Structure 1
């Protein structure tokens, strides 16, 4: 989900490059102009999300869910539990649920059912 690596800028064209931790070498080649740059000795590590994670955050309102979870957790005084998106059904046909909830949380003994958009 997250990749550790090193961001750097090409000196020739000012292109922002990213080199994954596993691909680090003594010299790095720019993705655009292929000019080699010597790797610094003391570099700072950064993390970059995968495209899969970025797409899920955009498409499925995951950021809204994270925001609601954070708000509920901060509100809790003694207990906090939750389950993510859940389907509910009243028949034995598990492939066709009757209802769904984005978030079900129990905060200090109180049940909270959330629909997040």
Structure 2
């Protein structure tokens, strides 16, 4: 196992952007993964490739996931939404009007008890 870890270490050392300290952190942090690779007799280069990440990449904040709901609307539905945009009652774009209508519909159903906010036990 030590020879396997040494082989992975040597492969990571060929990357100039990785400091010796960072390489040791990568190896220590992925010790279980490397042990599994050793047991499966995977090539050290494959293991090194999987655990390779620069310090800058590691420190980067993840991009928040797009939480918007995307809905396909028929052409007739789009025409109705455009008409509501022209009236200016619920928003100034098709997306804003559709959002307002969906939210109002859900709120009305929640208030009437048609939708439950918790699962019965």
TM-score with structure 1 setting the length: 0.18
**Which has a greater percent of strand?**
1
**Which has a greater percent of helix?**
2
TM-score with structure 2 setting the length: 0.18
Larger Rg: 2
